[in-house]
Structures are given as C-alpha cells and as structure tokens.
Structure 1
Amino acid sequence: MTHVLILEDDKASMEALGKILTEYSEEICVHAASSYPEAKELLDGDIRFGLFLLDVNLGGENREDIGGILFAREIREKFCYTFTPVVMVTSVGAMEMQAYRELHCYQYIMKPFRPEQVIEVVRKVLDRDKQEEPPSVVVKRDGVNYQVRCEEIRYIEAVHRGIRLHMKGETWDVPYVTLKQILLKVPGEMFLQCHRIFAVNRREVEYYDTVNRIVKLKDCADVIEIGVTYKAEIGRIVSGKLG
C-alpha cells in the first residue's frame, strides 16, 4: 500500500486528484490536507508516505503565496523523506524551477491537470517502489544527505561523537549518529554487531575466529574484534545454530 499526501486548498482540485488516484489503483491510500497546518499534522503522524502531491499556491488569489514549497522544505528536512517523490502542482510556470533546484522535486503537474498526466506520474512512482533495489542507508555528511548502498559498507565503527563507515575504497565519518541508531536503519540480517564499537557486514566476512576473538574480512587487512559479551552469539553463528 502506497500512502499519498495531497496538499491542495481548492476543494474541487483535491477531490479530483483523490478520485484519479483511488480509481487508478487499490494499492493507493489518499490523505488530503487543505492547509499547511493540516499537512504538517499528517506529516508528523505515524503514516509513512510514499508520494506527496503539493499545490504550490495555497493562498487562493494571492499569487505570492508559496505554501506548497514551504511544506516541501519541511518534508525534505525529515531524514526518512530525503528521497521520497515530491510532485508540485502549479499553474505558475516559474514556480517549478525554484522547487526543482532547491527541493529535488520528482516532477511537476501544470494546472489545469489532465487525468492521464496525473496517472503517468503516479505509475512511475509505483513502478519505482516495486523495483527491487539493493538496500541502502541515508547518512548526513558535511551537511549533505547521501544514499549509501549497504553492500559497499565492509564494517561500521563507533567513534567519538559519531560513527565511521569503512567502505570499499574509502572511509566516511558520520557525526552525531550512534552505532545503535545506524543499525536500526540497515538490514538486520545483513549486519552483525560483534563488539560494542563494531558491526560487520556478514557478506564481507571471510571467517570468525572465536578463539582469538577477531573477525577476518575478505580482502581487508583491518582487524575487527569480537567483544567478550558477543563471543557466545558469534559462536552460535559459527556452529550454524543461529543466523
């Protein structure tokens, strides 16, 4: 199920968009807001949205209003929506350029919109969601959000005031994120914590040495320690009784 948030102050346009979406697919659940505060309340709720359709102008006849763009900024400030498709709905052509440059919008729809135009945009989003992409994690580095493919990470190390991603070919320091927090964002079946400051990518492990308490990684000279409290669990993995 894909949850879609529509922000549109014109009732007729909102109902038309909602009707187009729900008639196109039973896998779409529409959530509508007619104002910035209503949309903000939905955004801060428990629903995880897969698409946003935002009217640029929420001020009726006031063409100076850019409430939709302000809300798009609010969306992009949330870590989990860094790459979620945002589609602007506008009758003012100059507006879409600002949205594209500043907010990395997926596409825009010009008013008066045509049903086939809306369906084409939604179809692309749904197809995008269905594609099986390698797992990835979003991290902030030097003030910029990056999407890192998990398969590129050999192991993760907790460092002072952050973590260090040891990847194939380079190392990234990511501040203000704990090892515990990053492990909640990566696939649990892919990464294994073996020490209070280390977690390894299981696919990169050559072997576990529980006697000397180290993990040997493929094509990597780094020594990853196995903590005393993690030794028993690693032992069960080695014996094939776990993982």
Structure 2
Amino acid sequence: MKRNVLIVEDNRVCMEALAELTRKCDTVGAVFCVDNRKDAYTCAMENEIDLFLVDIILDSGNIHDISGFLFVKELREVRRYEFTPVIFITSLVDEAMSAFHDLHCFDYIEKPFDWEKTRKIIKTALKAPLCDERECSVFYYRKDGVLYALNIDRMIYLETSFRNVTIHTLDETIELPYASLKNLMKDLPRKYFIQCSRNVVINRLFIEYVDKVNRFIKLRNGELIKIGGKMKKGFLEEL
C-alpha cells in the first residue's frame, strides 16, 4: 500500500531535495510540501498522511520560532495522528532531542543533511505499521461527559445548525449540542467522509449516485443532499 508523506520545511531548496529523495522510495504515494504551520495542519486534515517530515524552525528570521514543534504538538491531539511517524528536521540536536521525547517523534535528521543517512531514516519510517483498520472503523464522540463509540459503517451523514451537530445513522439520530463539525472532522477518516457543503459531511459508503448538473447527492436511504455551490468543484475532485 502506497503511503502519503507531508514535508514541512521553509527552505525551498531543502524542501525540494527532501521531496525528490522521498519520491524515490517504492512505497511512497503522494508527497505534499508546505512551508508553514497553518498550511501543514490544513493539509494533514484534508489528506491521510502516513509520515511527517517537519522542520522545527519554520521562520528562520525569528530566533524564538518553534512553529514546527507546535504543529506536531497540535497534530498529536488529533486521534488518527496520535502515533503517526514524525521525523524532525533541525540544525540543533538539543532541540531535536527535546522534541523527540516530548512528542514521541520517530527520529530526527540534522542540517546539513547526510543524504544516505536521511534516505535510510525515511525508508525505515515508511515501514512503520499503518493505523489498524479495525480501529479506524470506529468513531468516538463525547456527549454529556461520556465517551461513546459508533461504527463508521452505520453513519450516513453529519450536519450542523445553530451550534449543534446531528449525526444521522442507520439506527438513530444523535444530537451533539455545542459541537463543531470542523472539530469532529478531525477524527473522521477522510477515505470515508467527504464534505459536500458548509453544513454537511457525508459517508461515501451511502452514496447511490451524484447528479452533477442539479447539484445533489442521492443516498442509499433515499435522501437527497444538496451540494454547496462553492464546494462543488472540490467535492467532485475529491470524490
């Protein structure tokens, strides 16, 4: 199975060199490259990433910058990335060792790069076990202080209105007051769920067909879901 890699590096030359090296690995699928914390987080949420290469300092003009470290700290709070391999990039070994222990990173590579050593570290990280499919088939949500588990193959779609999120399943309708669809999506596997409008996320397993002309989706239970005008292009591309 091909694995996706995200490289977060503010130095364009280093970024392109790492991307070229990574693409030469047989098990690599897509290689995404960004140069800042915000774009890194967005990319991680919109794609399934199996390996991260992250420069600890993403703003070399700021001597106090640790935005790469902060990105990984934020990443570890997302359930599906809790144990995903992270390789830190740094010119400061002490800095890397701190990140290594605090955020459970897989390894680190020093600048200037020893390319043979870097290649071996990346290839080894790519052999790390992927997320257990059985674990990924369950969605956890919290309501009234209690943690519940819900099988993904029972979830039809989620919609938000008036600060609440409603989960429509084959068995029941679950209301989550004061919940955020954006936050819930962090724990939903992208291979199953896709956003079709600002307020609705649907499970691909329940799509019967898509009417591109009239902009609606017919679900297997007979319901029709409207595709948002501004999201039509992105939805169809991701579909």
TM-score if structure 2 supplies the norm length?
Answer: 0.55
Partner amino acid for 1:118? T
Structure 1 161/121 Cα, relative in aligned 2: closer, same or farther at 3 Å?
Answer: same
Q: Which residue of 2 aligns with 1:111?
A: 111
How many Å apart are 1:161 and its aligned residue? Answer: 6.1
Q: Which residue of 2 aligns with 1:184?
A: 152
Structure 1 28/121 Cα, relative in aligned 2: closer, same or farther at 3 Å?
Answer: farther
Structure 1 127/59 Cα, relative in aligned 2: closer, same or farther at 3 Å?
Answer: same
Percent of aligned pairs with the same residue?
Answer: 30
TM-score if structure 1 supplies the norm length?
Answer: 0.55
Give runs of aligned pairs for residues 1-243 of structure 1, distance below 5 A: 1-25=2-26, 27-45=28-46, 47-129=47-129, 137=135, 176-180=146-150, 183-184=151-152
Which structure ranks higher in relative contact order (CA pairs < 8 Å, sequence separation ≥ 6)? 2
Structure 1 136/97 Cα, relative in aligned 2: closer, same or farther at 3 Å?
Answer: farther
Larger Rg: 1
How many Å apart are 1:37 and its aligned residue? Answer: 1.6
Structure 1 34/134 Cα, relative in aligned 2: closer, same or farther at 3 Å?
Answer: closer
How many Å apart are 1:89 and its aligned residue? Answer: 0.3
CA distance in 2, matches of 1:28, 1:116: 21
How many Å apart are 1:42 and its aligned residue? Answer: 0.6
Q: Which residue of 1 aligns with 2:229?
A: none
CA distance in 1, matches of 2:132, 2:19: 32
CA distance in 1, matches of 2:48, 2:118: 21
Structure 1: state its 5+ residue gaps.
Answer: 139-159, 163-174, 186-195, 197-243
How many Å apart are 1:75 and its aligned residue? Answer: 0.9
Residues 135-183 of structure 1, C-alpha deviations (whole Å, 9 max, x = no match):
6649xxxxxxxxxxxxxxxxxxxxx969xxxxxxxxxxxx633242xx3
Native 8 Å contact 1:21 1:28 kept in 2: no
Tell me the matched-pair count. 150
How many Å apart are 1:61 and its aligned residue? Answer: 3.8
How many Å apart are 1:22 and its aligned residue? Answer: 0.8
Q: Which residue of 2 aligns with 1:172?
A: none
Structure 2: state its 5+ residue gaps.
Answer: 137-141, 154-171, 173-239
Partner amino acid for 1:92? L
Native 8 Å contact 1:87 1:107 kept in 2: yes
Q: Which residue of 2 aligns with 1:189?
A: none
CA distance in 1, matches of 2:146, 2:121: 36
Native 8 Å contact 2:3 2:27 kept in 1: no
Aligned-residue RMSD, C-alpha: 2.8
Residues 51-102 of structure 1, C-alpha deviations (whole Å, 9 max, x = no match):
0000011111433210110000111010000110011000011111221222
How many Å apart are 1:104 and its aligned residue? Answer: 0.7
